[in-house]
Structure 1
Amino acid sequence: MDLRDLEAFVAVAEELHFGRAAARLHVAQPPLSNRIRRLETELRLQLFERSTRTVALTDAGVRLLDPARRTLVQAAMTREIAASIVSGEEGRVRTGFAGASSQRLLPLLATAVRRTHPRIELVLQSQTYVYTALEELLSGALDLAFVRLPIAHPELSSRAVELEELVCALPADHPFADRERIRLGDLARDDFVSLPHDQGSMLQSTMASLCHSAGFRPRIVQVAPDSSTVLALVAAGAGVTITLSSVCPVQSVGLVYRPLEGIRPSHLVSALAWRTDNPSTALARVVEVSESALPTPDFDELGIDTSLIGIGQV
């Protein structure tokens, strides 16, 4: 059924005059009459009683008028939604996040998106480790993800959103707890608590690399699935660990956090990443919003050597 035929029917039904209905639709009267006849033929119903002076709805026409109006309203809504999707004002952006840093940044982004593009839905998917989010970006299961730099995937674009300092977490009664800074080499004899080495955790691999640079291999006595559990074990006296400044608020009782002296790199970088070839206009709008909601840190002003923290491709 041609929607223009329904529009013609509704116009004539409301005006009860072919001339006025034609003027309302900005068409000539003969084509309008042809549309009405075609619709009546298709429906096998007479919709109007016509005379030389009057036009009236038949019983069938009366009964079909409201459904025809509703159909036109739904069609208009469909066109409006389609236009919103094309413009990026409506849609779904599947967003992956993992770790304490993204849990702090995610609400800032979500709030900004709701304020500026209320018809874009962020579908939030929690991940245990960042590498999982990268895999799902590559497979197309996610549109956007909070990750850490560097990213070794040319298919992905990214922008840095936060600089996180690497710090040492010690039990509150540790002999070095009263020091202002910790030299990593001084912890060579300590027990360490770590994230799993086989799960692709960048924090775990960074800790192992830094200890190696300091001249020792960390003695891992306990492994925990996430940073919250790692810090709980440190607070209980199981060992020490290297963690991130964004994680510090997660656990404060029984712990002290101290800056590490003389390590390179001294920071990790959180970023937003997405497939470069993702055609979603809603994704493009969210990335645009992120530029103001989560601005890229000024690394030059902070005196950070970006070559040490994987910023080259941002």
Structure 2
Amino acid sequence: MDVDLRKLRYFVAVAEHLHFGRAAAHLHIAQPVLSRQIRALEVELKSQLFDRTKRSTELTRAGEQLLADARPLLASAAALQHRVRQAGRGSETFTVGFMPGLIVTPAVRVLAARHPGLTVDVFRTSWTDQTEVVLDGRVDVSYVRLPVDQQGLGIRPLLAEPRVAVLPLDHPLAAKDGISISDLAAEHLLQPPDAVPEWRDIAVELRSGRPVEAPSVTYTVEEKLEHVAAGRGLSVLPLSTATFYTRPDITSVPIDDIGPNQVCLAWDKTRESPLIHEYVEIATALLEGKGCGD
């Protein structure tokens, strides 16, 4: 049996929303059409994927397994389409993803100098899409900040850097030379809690049972810093990011008792592109100060 990728996309939408109506709206299709497609998929797979009641929709164990397998499969299909279209245009392009605060120019220039016919592009990523863009083919290799889901990825550690708390200038902790993560337990974090697990494990607002403003409403560093300056919360950032986005109405304070942020290169491990491995070696050598001759 061949799995229909369209049905898989429909299934993932329902699994992510756990609501057929919202999933149908996201997919821009009618809800009855979506329900029929999911039933057809269940028949094809001979498994019930959702437990549905009038009040809720939940994944079954079979559904959980399919979701884990469907996401990388859909990403691989998207990457295939991207690379075929690129080849069809007759031009060879290599794209490097990077997180805010990271400078990739030296390695990009070396790769471009070695391959004069190659167009080397860069693509800014964020916490929410830094691995997605690798798996769906938008970038060939990307600088990522851990923790990330490493399923389907090749990973090369590059460097580690301290993390700092970014605070408004009038915050009681702003004048300190260093703080501990426990000092931030009662603060509101302007980023997904899993991005700072040390805070997540002690956060007062996550233990109180009260509704918490979703931190994921602010995706970019610029948005986070606007909210910090307005006194709506704080952000924990790698030192290079905080330094890159210096502004006069906020400050950064080192967090002394949490580990550094690990920066790695990531790529789709199913691909056997010599350019990917060449770029990884160039970037590694430059960071180690070995230099890279053309």
Q: Quickly name the TM-score band, shorter chain normalised.
A: 0.5 to 0.7
1:100 matched to which residue of 2? 100
2:194 matched to which residue of 1? 205
Gaps of 5+ in 2: 1-90, 207-211, 290-294
Give the alignment of 1:283-302 within 5 angstroms.
283-295=276-288
**What secondary structure does 2:100 align onto?**
helix
Q: How far has the Cα of 1:230 moved from its partner?
A: 0.9
Amino acid at match of 2:100: A
1:147 matched to which residue of 2? 144
Separation (CA, whole Å) in 1 of partners of 2:147 and 2:228:
28
Pick aligned residue for 1:273 from 266, 275, 281: 266
Separation (CA, whole Å) in 2 of partners of 1:212 and 1:94:
34
1:125 matched to which residue of 2? 123
**What secondary structure does 1:293 align onto?**
helix
Give the alignment of 1:76-95 within 5 angstroms.
91-95=92-96
2:165 matched to which residue of 1? 168
1:225 matched to which residue of 2? 219
Separation (CA, whole Å) in 2 of partners of 1:171 and 1:225:
19
Count of matched residue positions in the alignment of Structure 1 and Structure 2 = 192
Asked whether the 8 Å contact 2:147–2:195 carries over to 1, the reply is: no
Q: Which stretch shifts more, 276-285 or 161-170?
A: 276-285
**What secondary structure does 2:175 align onto?**
coil
Aligned sequence identity (%): 22
Compare the two structures and name the one with the higher strand fraction. 1
Separation (CA, whole Å) in 1 of partners of 2:100 and 2:167:
19
1:115 matched to which residue of 2? 113
**Alignment partner of 1:253 is 2:253:** no
Segments ≥4 residues shifted beyond 6 Å: none
Separation (CA, whole Å) in 2 of partners of 1:137 and 1:212:
27
Separation (CA, whole Å) in 2 of partners of 1:295 and 1:152:
26
RMSD: 2.8
Q: How far has the Cα of 1:193 moved from its partner?
A: 4.5
**Alignment partner of 1:262 is 2:257:** yes
**What secondary structure does 1:180 align onto?**
coil
Asked whether the 8 Å contact 1:144–1:274 carries over to 2, the reply is: yes
User: CA, structure 1 residues 109+168, in 2 after alignment: closer, same or farther (shift >3 Å)?
Assistant: same
User: CA, structure 1 residues 221+177, in 2 after alignment: closer, same or farther (shift >3 Å)?
Assistant: farther
2:65 matched to which residue of 1? none
Q: How far has the Cα of 1:221 moved from its partner?
A: 8.0
Q: Give per-residue Cα distances to partners, 1:188-234, cap 9 Å, x unaligned.
A: 333x2413x4xxxxxx4132x22243463366586422112211221
Asked whether the 8 Å contact 2:169–2:249 carries over to 1, the reply is: yes
- Compute the TM-score of the two structures, normalised by the length of structure 2: 0.56
Asked whether the 8 Å contact 1:157–1:274 carries over to 2, the reply is: yes
